[in-house]
Structure 1
């Protein structure tokens, strides 16, 4: 049976952030994910998780100055130490929260810098981040993001991400495969699942309806078929529901209720 985690950065926005944990648990979710925990003390979030009986399966490392438009630092020249300091902070949170996966955002590629120079920077930074994470039993995840929603992002395709994982050869560096981004950039989603899941290099999946990023039962992707492919493949990880509800979250959960009540 497939397992779904509510993304509390995109779902349940009708509630204050700390109240979203209880709302997700009330609706039957057993796990959650979100973008960033850093506005709150780790212990405060931990209490919500324990009280609600939830696992936290994923969050992002410090991305630089998010409010100023930064979307990660890993590929940026001159920012490596700041990026690694952000990973250390993420690992401190992960230790308290019991999280075993942290997404390290690649960043927006600066104009005028050769991609090969950025690639070398990126590979070395990811390697160092993974070496920091390994003693804590944490996997570093790399997510390709679509070029429409985040123009200039360094990592866009599944192949790019898997090439990084292969080049590094580290067991705790894996791909965060968001099917929403994959559909926009590449399509052919089910074939990519069949290609990449058996490699052992995929650490986490995320979903949303295309192209509007609403509930997965809307738009051009047939998620019932996708789910059948995942069950056929024996996918046993969590699936993050990183979508923006078209109305209040609870108004449109019919698509997932069979999985939440099983």
Structure 2
């Protein structure tokens, strides 16, 4: 159980992020729900968590790609909750397109949010973790960062970079009892992918388990890694076997 612990979840207002928030809250954690888009969705999720679970949930708006904004965010969260015990870097964007036609802005924006955003959050939580000599970081990567995906050069590069960041941070912070791991989801059924979930879609044939994953299944893996004190530097695929 995570009673008395505080978790920060970026990209926490919908999809996989919202499932992670609910999972951690169900285990008793206080949760800082960081979002960039819909305030209404974030506040509704916080209200649901407050009604159903014992911990506190507070929504914070922040563009994680902004180094200074993340510094201010972590200061606000520390003031509200006292400290941070778990950091889940889930915030991400996609701007897909074939490499030959991809705009520089599309490449930069995806790396800024998906990779630099995780660095920014780790960088500004590291001080708290080092002082208290504990902390758990879970980065949400993707199988696209492990095996690549046509039309996603920017996204695959960012998610592969996130795996490298995970391993470097794990080695650097391990002497202080701080863990850093990653999950690598495959095709997960969210608002962005629901139109791909039909049984007649050829995509399903590439997934050994024959179906798309659910956000809750990724959340289970995140919660496991967030509470596993002797696992660090690991990349746990949640992909139905597609990247075997």
TM-score between the two structures when normalised by the length of structure 2: 0.39
